Structure 1
Amino acid sequence: MRNTFQSSITLAVAGFIMAIALSLLHIPELYSQQLRPLSPTNQERIERLEELASYHLNQNDISSAISAMNQISYIYWENGRPDRAIQSFQRTASYYEQINDLENLHKVYSIIGLIQLDLEDISGANRAFTRQLEIRRRIGDQQGITSALVDLSQVKSLMAEHREAIGLLEEALEQALRLNYETILPHIYNQLANSYMSINNVRQGEEYRRKYNDIREHLARQSMRGQYEESTIQSQVEARLSQEDAERSREQIKINQLLFQLEQDSIKRIVQEREDSLELAQLRAESQMREIERIEQERELAQAEVERQIAVQNFQQLIIYSTAGGLLLVLLLALIAYRGYKTKQKANKQLELKNQQIQQAQDKLQEAFIKIEDQNYRITQSISYAREIQNALFPPQKTLNNYIPESFIFFQPVDMVSGDFYWFREMGNPNTSPLKELENESPNEAPETIQSNGFLPIKGDKFIVSAVDCTGHGVPGAFMSMIGYNLLDSITITGTSHPDRILEKLNKGVRRTLKQEEGNNQDGMDIALCVINKKNKTVEFAGANNPLIYISNGNLKTIKGDRLAIGGAQKKLKDRKYTPHMIKVDQPTWFYILTDGYTDQFGGERGRKFLLKNFKELIFSIYQKPMAEQRKILEEQFNQWKGQEDQIDDVLVIGFRLG
């Protein structure tokens, strides 16, 4: 059930994010901006765009004028002048109102609000988002009104106007329930809970927190329709992308018509490319060069005409003073001049053809560069949202200290999202069912302390902790980590607590989830998993490629994991069995489990791997220090060893002391 819950949440959030990304205008990456003067190049670009906007307004082509004004706004925004960007966007908004383009008008006010937030002008952001809500109401898009109410409530919360925020959220809640707009309900319930808590209304806050948890569970039960919803979302995305491509094509046709009209009327050559003002400058420069070449050709022809007239005069004189030999000489000179002219004319045509080919290649490169920049921005945004989802899924690292006071987690991903993950949970709590254990877990509350002779302060009989390394890192690894996390929850919620059985079921679950029996997918994961038995004072271990290191009575020992990965290619041993190991803890013992990111890191003076041997020596030299200090030393040693080298993999080390 936990697996279904997490999968549905992931799909819902991903769909919501993609819908927002497609509906917005191109928005540069937000960052804390500092006002700085524009470069001469950007100032020149703005002046040319202002001329183009004025021309379109004179032609009563308001849509094309707005396009130029939007480019001016983005130049200001992207180059450290958000104040001028706001003024420019406000000017654009006035023209959108003039042509009654409400769809783009509310988007402009949304951008103005974002810039105001970036400038920490909360009151300005409040005005912009309020205006956005008014326009949404005029459009009558009920879902859009609901989203605008939630956006404005967030600004009200920043202004500490929590009661106004509650009023907006209550209206949004009523709309969402009426429209069956389920994907936004978790956001509304969560904000309502926070707002009521801010005004010290704990009862209402807890009530909405309960509703928040209920709607998440409800969405989880709908995960069986995940594939259909995903394909539907993809179709919508492709349709909207096709609409955007069609819009760009129509704008390009408008530009070509304008160029033809300007050439026919002998008006100054204005070449304007809507999506990039730099291309506008290049086209203008090329137009000027062609004009200069034309004038130069006319001058050469005029000079040739003067020379021809002189030659004619000389020829006439030669006729007078010479005979047939002079006539033959003149004819010969004329022939040479004609051949030279034809040769030069042919060379000029070849040169012009080459210039056109070069320009076409430059245009294609520029178009490709713009597309790559846009794709990079969208990918970065998607990864940022994936990181937020992963952070929400995994418990805070310090939560482990609530169960094992003397413990630490050193977790350092190589990318924004990670393919390594840690997982732990309490088993055998006599006061709750396994399902309620998951629902009642709170990362901010320590488990109730019971008499355990100082061994393990938990209510249940056992505690499971693991370090998992999924195939790859970054986004592919993050997807695998979410699959592994949900599978571990699903396996242990049924009561399975023996480490070898957990790994066997995890192997089957990965192969089943990725359909590896049917397709060519070979992704998998390595894992080190410990089950701490409070009653028997033992630690049971099973591993898939990853080891367990423990120190007892001054001796360091290593238990290697089985050389059988979880999932992946399995031509032999379809039903894999993993070896269980049991360690009796009758005196203070230190345990360490890890992935291979730490030991495989290149560095040092010779650029070599750190290796497991050096890791064990390092652990043995520091194991008697406090756990927090051990973690700090591991982090410092890793960064010192890495030096200027790039981090090659996600790093995860978990240590704890028992007895």
Structure 2
Amino acid sequence: MIRKLLCISIVFSLFIFNGVAQNLPPQKQTQVEQYKEMLIKYQGEGNKSETANYLNKIAYIYWENNNPKNAIDYFNQSIIINQEIGNDNALKTIYLNLGMIYSDLNQFDKAQTNYQKSLQISRNLKKTTDIASCLINLASVQTSLKKYNDAITGLEEAMNLSKELSNEKLLRNCYGKLSENYKYIGNTQKSTEYLELYTTFDKFVQTKEFKQIQEEKDNQINQLHNVTNQIEAEKNITESQLKITVSSLKEFENLSNEQKKQIYTLSLENQLKELRNLENQSQLRNTQIFIFFIIGFAILLGLIAIVSFRAYKHKKKTNFELNARNEEIMEQKEKIAIQNLKITDSITYAKRIQQSSLSSEESLQKHLADSFIFFKPRDIVSGDFYWFFETGRNSPYSKFQKIEIDEEDKFIISAIDCTGHGVPGAFMSMIGYNQLNAIVFRGITQANEILNELHKGIRAALRQYKNDNRDGMDMAICVYNKERNTIDYSGAKNPLIYIKDNKLNMIKGNRYPIGGIQLEENRIFTKHTISIDKKTTFYIFSDGFIDQFGGEFGDKYNIKQFSDLLLSICNENMQKQKSILEETIAKWQGTEYTQIDDMLILGFQISPV
């Protein structure tokens, strides 16, 4: 039944678009009509593979002759059939073609959708070159849609894949588009760097292509010279033979009949002698061949015996060496296993040290009753960490702090994302944790001043004034003043989200991180103050949750989707919110996508005192 319906739909499409096809050139029109006849034939036979093939052929003709509407229709029909037969390679190519057509029509949203489908199939097929090409095409559309950051993310992945493939053309395209997108977001330094790389690779690729074209031309010229010389040589031989033949004929005509008879008789006698000589030579040759065959056979048997004996000795020696090598490999394997176990034990111990330095969720709830900590490291140890501190005259640490006489009681809470993850990130987290404690112990409790001092401390600790080390951290920090009912916020790249009266507000942090390269003379962070006149829910977080790949098309979760999720759950109790976040990200990842970064979200709810 389904086959009949599909056949009817194809025939109907052929009838509908028959009039549209009249604007094709006569030769192409004839070709389309032939393909349509083959299409109906294979559809009637139930040959889905050939049906899809001829739908694609018709689509290509329309596309090449500036008829995109018909091309899109035939490609879409081919998609249905290829999905039924599971032809992923064909689907990947068709979605890519549709992306190009919609891009040419300036329908960039549809182009983006089709490029994403082609990219997902390429990822499933693990075709690295196709993945890189799809990412570049997708980035071009995202640039047109002004999604510059998404374009940069895809281009950086394409750049890394192109480097693995040593593909200069793909690298050149990546550098050019990265320069363009960094220019749009105002990062002149990055734009200039990638423009220089693009210029270098463009010259290299053009030079390489020119050499290839020149070599092809030289080869063609050489082939033409060879053919010309061969024809000339054959011509000379033919002319020489023709002259000899003509000369012989003239001489023969001048002879008398008697002379002709004598010549003929002598010719016959000579031919007879030649035949006898040939017969004798043939017999002699046969005898020699037989003798040579016997000798050769004997030599061959001797060689086979020698080779077999040597092969046996070599095999015996090789087996002995292999056994010794296998024993050595097993010993090395055991040593490596022991070393891995020791390393894992060391990292696990480091995890206990890191966990002991991080306060528990229960400790946070002593200060902020309605709160949660969502903390999910990617590896055993984490580059993300959270930090909170009570300061003021009533603080248990007041005797260690330099506190002014009128210092008010405050509670400071922060979510920090260090460069990297795993062991390197964990080292950075310990440096940051100790620096934060030291800053507050010096009596610095203003949100922006803490970030200013932390930036200086990280650069000094890593000696970034003297080297090109770029490690650092992104973070958001909040200072809660109970007496004034205010929250002071400062951020290094990471934002603060707060929800009041079911309305979501986002305050973005400064665009530069803690630590790393500093081009400006002084790095000053901004302080924002939020008054708490009614119940308000606050969220600070790292980028691990929003950058996680997953879903149907392998996209990032993204900040928009994350904000919508927080708004939808803000009225739940804090532990319920934490459970929803855990379930959401697990469902988003599924079993296909692994965690790519550490995840950290701190949520707390405050009502006016």
TM-score (norm 2): 0.48
Higher RCO (CA 8 Å, separation ≥ 6 residues)? 1
Larger radius of gyration: 2
TM-score (norm 1): 0.44
